[in-house]
Chains A and B, each alone.
Chain A
Amino acid sequence: MSPAEEGVPDGAVPADRADRHAARGGPSRRPRSVYGVGSEPDPRYSLANERTALAWLRTALALVAGGVALTTVASFSEERVLLSGIAALACLAGGGVAVRALVGWRRTERAMRLALPLPAPSGLQLLVGGVALFAVALAGYVVVQALP
């Protein structure tokens, strides 16, 4: 659901929230490129944006952990180069997803403050395609190993 559909209070900051805001230095909230524009969205949307960034970070961690675990398999295996290569790609993808988590949080928070349409979830197709390839490659490897 987009903020526009739920009736975001347009710029009206309740007194208690304004006080807290002032107590924390008001316009010094960082990053300026996000908090310097627009008006405060419904806090629930900001919290949802925060959780989305954290979910992307955990996805990145899963890619890194999978890649690192695969290096152990590679050291036992005869396909050391292939598996190490996939492991390296998984770790690289994990780093990329972590960057995307940070960039995505800023873009979304900014769009919500400006009451713009939320940016599309960039990189999602690439990630899903990459993980699917990764899974197929590993499944192929397991089948090759199982053959007599």
Chain B
Amino acid sequence: VRAVPGLDGDPGAQPQRTVLAWNRTVVATVLCALLVALTAERHEMSGVAAVAGVTALGILLVALRDLRRWQPVAAEPWRSILHAGTAVMVLAALGLTVAVHGLLS
């Protein structure tokens, strides 16, 4: 992250910490999506596995595009947060489907 007007000499390295938090979140989301895909595949739920796989790829591409536009001042992070949050909700729904399938079978 380059030096930022308005945050010069910020000893807390806030922009860097925020970008690193984004990196952790994107990595965690993609790994969780892959975990859901592999688990669904193991339970022979190919549809769920396919949606999880597409979610993994989709959130990776969307988040990388969002992060290219990320800026620390006069920021507009809502869309990026909404994208990441939507991906997590999709994964929660897929995980719930797998769990309910296990409950009923």
* A residues in contact (CB < 8 Å) with B: 14, 16-17, 20-21, 24, 29-31, 34-35, 40, 43-44, 46-48, 50-51, 53-55, 57-58, 60-65, 67-72, 74-75, 80-81, 83-85, 87-88, 90-92, 94-95, 98-99, 101-102, 105-106
Distance A40 CA – B74 CA, assembled complex (angstroms): 8
A95 and B78 within 8 A (CB): no
Instruction: Given A16-B6, A54-B81, check contact A69 B74 (CB 8 Å).
Output: no
Total residue contacts A-B, CB cutoff 8 A = 165
The answer to the question of B56 belonging to the interface, with a C-beta cut-off of 8 Å to chain A, is: no
Chain B residues near A87 (CB-CB < 8 A)? 95, 98-99, 102
B102: which A residues are within 8 A, CB to CB? 71, 74-75, 80, 83-84, 87
The closest CB in chain B to the CB of A81 belongs to B103
Q: Does B82 contact A (CB under 8 A)?
A: yes
Q: DSSP class of A's interface residues: helix, strand, loop or mixed? A: helix
The verdict on A61 contacting B91 (CB below 8 Å), with A31-B78, A50-B77 known, is yes
A98 and B88 within 8 A (CB): yes
A101 to B77, CA, bound (A): 13
Additional A-B contact list (4), CB under 8 Å, known A17-B74, A71-B102, A95-B92: A51-B18, A54-B25, A101-B88, A105-B78
Bound complex: CA A112 to CA B91 (Å): 31
Contacts from B to A (Cβ < 8 Å): 5-7, 10, 12, 14-15, 17-18, 21-22, 24-25, 28-29, 31-32, 35-36, 39, 42-43, 71-79, 81-82, 84-85, 88-89, 91-93, 95-96, 98-100, 102-103
A-B contact pairs, 26 of them (CB 8 A): A30-B76, A30-B79, A34-B78, A43-B14, A50-B18, A53-B81, A53-B85, A54-B21, A54-B25, A55-B21, A58-B24, A58-B25, A64-B95, A65-B31, A68-B95, A68-B99, A75-B42, A75-B43, A75-B102, A88-B100, A95-B92, A98-B89, A99-B85, A99-B89, A102-B81, A102-B85
